Amino acid sequence: MKKDITVIITLYKTPLKRLKDLNQYKNYKVIIFAQEANKHYQNIIKKNSLINFRYYFSKDNIGLPKATNYLISKVKTKYFLFTQADILINEKSIQYLKNSFKYKDDIIFTGPSFKNKREKGFKIKSILNAACMLCDTNKTKKIGFFDEDFFLYWEDVFLMRKISRSKFKMLLCKNAIAKHSSGASTVNNSKVQFVRNLNFKYGEYLYDFKIKKFRFIKLVRQLLQSIFYFILSSLSLNKNFAIKNIAYTFGIIKFIIYYLRK
């Protein structure tokens, strides 16, 4: 068992194939948070993987930022690997990520390359692919991880912005490689599409608001546009486009509610 790294993963309607992929972490401490789940879901994870894990869940979908921050609060090891169920990374690459913290004392996150070819060297970055990062636990708890006003999208962009403006640095470790089957960590159905599109649009306006680039005219224009396209796509029986635009509409309304409460 690797004693100084904890793997943290949030699950939401995760396909069984991805649960089996969790076996890549069988030699690490693992903490899982399952959304829209119950205590019995951990038995499904046990049946489809070989990992030893601590399990937390919520009956509702509380959002990736809240679930992740909760998991981080439970980490006791020096490092934690923030990752997703659709990430493939081997122990050799994780070890490379850990070793890369020796590069500089102010490193807070190290991330793998998502190229197929392993290369040598490191590079200080202002943005990392947040789908998979090895994090210094104490530094992360000091500065904070995700902003919980976000729900599913844009929280990583806002985090990168915060870190790039702090005293800490992020490092790309080129000899650590990972693969990301983007979007494959969750089943793909109409409900999931709706939730994703709604929170993408909500997150877009929330991000603009937090960095003081929010424009009211843009909100009005996109709100009217999404309503128009929803009606048009409904009449033409274009289901996916209709779902996307009605989700955008509700995402903008969700932001308006947030804005008014502020």
Q: What is the DSSP string of 134-158?
A: EEEHHHHHHH-S--TT--SSSHHHH
CA–CA dist 11, 86 (Å, integer):
10
Question: Do both 102 and 137 map to the same domain?
Answer: yes
Q: Is residue 33 part of a domain?
A: yes
Which pLDDT value is given to residue 185? 58
Which of 132, 149, 180 is the C-terminal boundary of a domain?
Answer: 180
CA–CA dist 200, 244 (Å, integer):
10
Which pLDDT value is given to residue 187? 62
Which pLDDT value is given to residue 35? 94
Question: Do both 217 and 149 map to the same domain?
Answer: no
Question: Do both 175 and 194 map to the same domain?
Answer: no
Which pLDDT value is given to residue 115? 87
> 216-235 and 190-210 are packed helices; what angle lies between their axes, rounded to 10 degrees?
170
Question: Do both 29 and 100 map to the same domain?
Answer: yes
CB atoms within 10 A of CB 56: 17
- What band does 2 get if pLDDT is binned at 50, 70 and 90? confident
- Find the angle CA(136)-CA(140)-CA(145) to the nearest 5 degrees: 130
Q: Is residue 167 part of a domain?
A: yes
Residue type, 226: S
pTM of the model: 0.91
* pLDDT tens readout for residues 198-235: 999 999 999 999 999 999 999 999 999 999 999 999 88
Q: Count of domains in the chain?
A: 2
Question: Do both 205 and 172 map to the same domain?
Answer: no
Question: Do both 208 and 78 map to the same domain?
Answer: no
CA–CA dist 30, 110 (Å, integer):
19
Residue 184 scores a pLDDT above 70: no
* pLDDT tens readout for residues 119-129: 888 999 999 99
Q: Is residue 185 part of a domain?
A: no
Residue type, 190: S
Tokens of 10: 């949030």
Q: Is residue 6 part of a domain?
A: yes
Which of 148, 180, 212 is the C-terminal boundary of a domain?
Answer: 180
Of all helices (H) and strands (E), which one includes residue 230? helix 216-235
Question: Do both 130 and 163 map to the same domain?
Answer: yes
Which pLDDT value is given to residue 119? 84
Q: Is residue 8 part of a domain?
A: yes
Question: Do both 37 and 88 map to the same domain?
Answer: yes
Question: Do both 144 and 206 map to the same domain?
Answer: no
At 77, which CATH number? 3.90.550.10
Which pLDDT value is given to residue 183? 58
Question: Do both 132 and 250 map to the same domain?
Answer: no
Which pLDDT value is given to residue 215? 95
Domain of 133 in residue numbering reads as 2-180
